[in-house]
Structure 1
Amino acid sequence: MTNDSNVNVRPATRNHKGFFVQPASYKLMSIDKSGWALICLDNAVCHYVDPDNLQLPHKSAEA
């Protein structure tokens, strides 16, 4: 995956502290050396999550 790509989280995804992550569209910022993916909802809300819990957003059919 490339940096700054949009991703969604799977249901019941937890962050590195064990708290549930709100289902939403996030920007994938990076994946660090320890294996956590940094995702951000906006400039104030970011989470470290397991990259296996990320999925690409569904694309709608465009004419």
Structure 2
Amino acid sequence: MSNTNNNVSIKPETRNHQGFFVRDGQYQLMGVDESGWALICFDDVSCHYVDPDNLESVEDLVD
């Protein structure tokens, strides 16, 4: 898994790899695994695998 450690937000109605909705908010992008899922973490306990196409860079949103 590549390690990027970027702050990202998610697009509305993003679902995780199990099909459940992911809470809106700012996440830490931990990386993308070999199967193409992006691992994002809200804190030390709450992490999700999501489609990388559903991520937005926080820096892009501020500009």
* SS of residue paired to 2:8: strand
- Looking at CA atoms only, which structure, 1 or 2, has the larger radius of gyration? 1
Larger fraction in helix:
2
Q: In the comparison of the two structures, how many residue pairs are matched?
A: 59
Structure 2-normalised TM-score?
0.88
Alignment partner, residue 24 of structure 1 = 25
RMSD: 1.2
Residues 6-37 of structure 1: CA deviation (Å, up to 9, x unaligned)? 00000000000000000100000010000000
Structure 1: how far apart are the matches of 2:4 and 2:24?
20
Structure 2 gaps of 5+ residues are: none
2:9 equivalent in structure 1: 8
Distance 1:15 1:46 in 2: 10
Indicate the residue corresponding to 2:43 in structure 1: 42
Query: What is the CA–CA distance in structure 2 between the aligned matches of 1:43 and 1:35, rounded to whole Å?
Result: 22
Partner of 2:62: 59
Scaled by the length of structure 1, the TM-score of the pair is 0.88
Aligned partners of 1:29, 1:56: CA distance in 2, in Å? 13
Structure 1 unaligned runs (5+)? none
Runs of 4+ in 1 over 6 A off after TM superposition: none
